[in-house]
């Protein structure tokens, strides 16, 4: 079961107004997802949309009219002060039923408003936040979101926490998983022994339903398909098979940088400049790679025993765009995308399974070769920084089209 359990609806800030359950289901199937989060269940407009269009059943998931499963999920922004420092942390919440969702919403209404954004902000410290939710139901799961991003990741540079224990204190015992985020992958997280106890999960954090957003990161489960088994897999790592990740250099905060000055730096170079932009002399946005290097107690390349599978993929639309040198949403890219998908069922199948020979029978051999190069980790990137996505470099290996 391939699951994308961090999404947003149309009421969240900076999200597509065309985000509806129908569009999410349509593109989840095209992408190859088997389970989708609902997103934003505390927002009054979105929960109304969910209740009108989804039906609860014995699995703990909600089903669309055609039977596609959704799991109740939202993201909450916590902004507060601890030990004299401003803290900003995003957390995911998974819930087992609409009844529990109503209780969660009621608890948040006692602390502030929920109607202005699908991802509302509360001045609640992380330990209190977890304790409050666990008092509602032990079946609620809390997962720190995109833990390394500089502005709202629990271990990000601007949240000022150096450990999960420091952030969650006595409630750390109730945190069982962490979301890697686009700018890190399991290999980076394996370098911190303090993270060994946590399951590593990956989700898209989509703000639109297009295939280069939905399912770009996902988690693979080998379980009976219901809420209790999914939560058990997260808490015990049994039944959690692995993750689909973009290359972390594709993420928007991988390197240090300053977007307004078009400056991006590797951590060693940022340190040489004392983390100051060499063009404008303002502080750089410290990226995920730098932050991991600061906290890592293991060398690069360390792999723990019983590590879960990791698949590094890039959305098919981005691959086609790179080869054709056309924008990702242009007609030329869509035409090629649809031609490939009409033959091979869904995008994840294309990216993970279809052979080079089968691919080149339907598409440009250069596109086929780049798909295989991405699958085999043979692609380099101009890394993302300070809110700018990374981009695929034209791979040298493209010249030889008969390697597969």
User: Average pLDDT in the 224-244 region?
Assistant: 97
User: Average pLDDT in the 69-94 region?
Assistant: 98
Predicted local confidence at residue 393, as pLDDT: 86
Joined tokens for residue 380? 């380099």
Q: Which of 330, 398, 403 is nearest to 366 (CA)?
A: 398
| CA atoms 16, 45, 26, 250: torsion sign | positive
Using an 8 Å Cβ cutoff, are 186 and 180 in contact? yes
Q: Residue 72, exposed/middle/buried by CB under 10 A (0-12, 13-18, 19+)? A: buried
Predicted local confidence at residue 397, as pLDDT: 46
Cα 138 from Cα 131, distance rounded (Å): 10
Spell out the domains of the chain, with CATH numbers in brackets.
Answer: 2-249 (3.20.20.140), 316-378 (no CATH)
Predicted local confidence at residue 399, as pLDDT: 46
Residue 9 clears pLDDT 90, i.e. is over it: yes
Computed over every residue of the chain, the mean pLDDT equals 96
Residue 59 clears pLDDT 60, i.e. is over it: yes
Indicate the range of 30-34, 43-47, 259-263, 399-403 predicted with least confidence. 399-403
Joined tokens for residue 393? 């470099």
Using an 8 Å Cβ cutoff, are 265 and 394 in contact? no
Element (H, E) at 264: strand 263-265
Residue 401 clears pLDDT 60, i.e. is over it: no
Q: What is the pLDDT of residues 384-394, one digit of tens each?
A: 999 999 999 86
Predicted local confidence at residue 144, as pLDDT: 98
Q: What is the pLDDT of residues 145-177, one digit of tens each?
A: 999 999 999 999 999 999 999 999 999 999 999
At residue 223 the predicted structure's pLDDT band, cuts being 50, 70 and 90, is very high
Supply the pTM of this predicted model.
Answer: 0.96
Predicted local confidence at residue 274, as pLDDT: 96
Residue 285 DSSP symbol: B
Residue 301 clears pLDDT 60, i.e. is over it: yes
Q: What is the pLDDT of residues 337-361, one digit of tens each?
A: 999 999 999 999 999 999 999 999 9
Q: What does residue 343 show for φ and ψ, rounded to 5 degrees?
A: -90, -35
Predicted local confidence at residue 394, as pLDDT: 64
Residues found in the chain: 404
- Inter-CA distances, 355 with 206, 314, 372, Å: 29, 17, 8
Q: What is the pLDDT of residues 61-75, one digit of tens each?
A: 999 999 999 999 999
Q: pLDDT over 70 for what percent of the chain?
A: 97
Using an 8 Å Cβ cutoff, are 166 and 189 in contact? no
Strand 218-221 relative to strand 240-245, pairing: antiparallel
């Amino acid at each position: 079961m391939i699951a994308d359990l961090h999404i947003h609806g149309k009421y969240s800030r900076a999200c597509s107004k065309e985000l509806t359950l129908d569009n999410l289901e349509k593109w989840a199937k095209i992408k190859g997802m088997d389970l989708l989060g609902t997103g934003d269940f505390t927002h009054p407009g979105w929960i109304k949309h969910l209740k009108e269009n989804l039906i609860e059943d014995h699995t703990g998931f909600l089903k669309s009219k055609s039977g596609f499963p959704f799991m109740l999920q939202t993201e909450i922004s916590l902004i507060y002060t601890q030990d004299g420092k401003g803290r900003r942390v995003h957390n995911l919440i998974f819930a087992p039923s609409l009844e529990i969702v109503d209780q969660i919403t009621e608890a948040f209404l006692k602390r502030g408003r929920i109607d202005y954004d699908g991802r509302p902000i509360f001045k609640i410290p992380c330990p209190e936040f977890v304790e409050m939710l666990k008092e509602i139901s032990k079946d609620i799961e809390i997962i720190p979101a995109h833990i390394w991003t500089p502005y709202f990741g629990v271990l990000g540079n601007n949240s000022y926490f150096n450990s999960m224990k420091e952030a969650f204190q006595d409630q750390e015992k109730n945190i069982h998983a962490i979301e890697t985020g686009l700018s890190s992958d399991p290999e980076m997280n394996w370098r911190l022994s303090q993270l060994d106890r946590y399951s590593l999960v990956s989700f898209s954090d989509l703000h639109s339903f297009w295939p280069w957003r939905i399912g770009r990161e996902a988690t693979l489960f080998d379980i009976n398909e219901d809420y209790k088994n999914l939560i058990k897999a997260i808490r015990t790592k049994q039944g959690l098979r692995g993750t689909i990740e973009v290359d972390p250099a594709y993420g928007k905060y991988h390197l240090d940088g300053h977007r307004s000055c078009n400056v991006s730096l590797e951590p060693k170079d940022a340190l040489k400049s004392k983390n100051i932009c060499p063009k404008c002399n303002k502080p750089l946005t410290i990226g995920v790679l730098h932050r991991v290097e600061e906290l890592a107690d293991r060398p690069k390349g360390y792999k723990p025993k019983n590590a879960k599978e990791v698949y590094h993929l890039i959305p098919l639309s981005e691959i086609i765009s790179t080869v054709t040198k056309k924008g990702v949403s242009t007609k030329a890219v869509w035409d090629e995308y649809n031609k490939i998908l009409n033959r091979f069922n869904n995008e994840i199948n294309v990216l993970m399974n279809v052979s080079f020979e089968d691919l080149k029978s339907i598409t440009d051999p250069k596109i086929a070769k780049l798909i295989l190069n991405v699958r085999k980790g043979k692609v380099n990137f101009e890394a993302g920084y300070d809110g700018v996505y990374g981009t695929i470099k034209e791979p040298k290996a493209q010249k030889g089209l008969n390697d597969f």
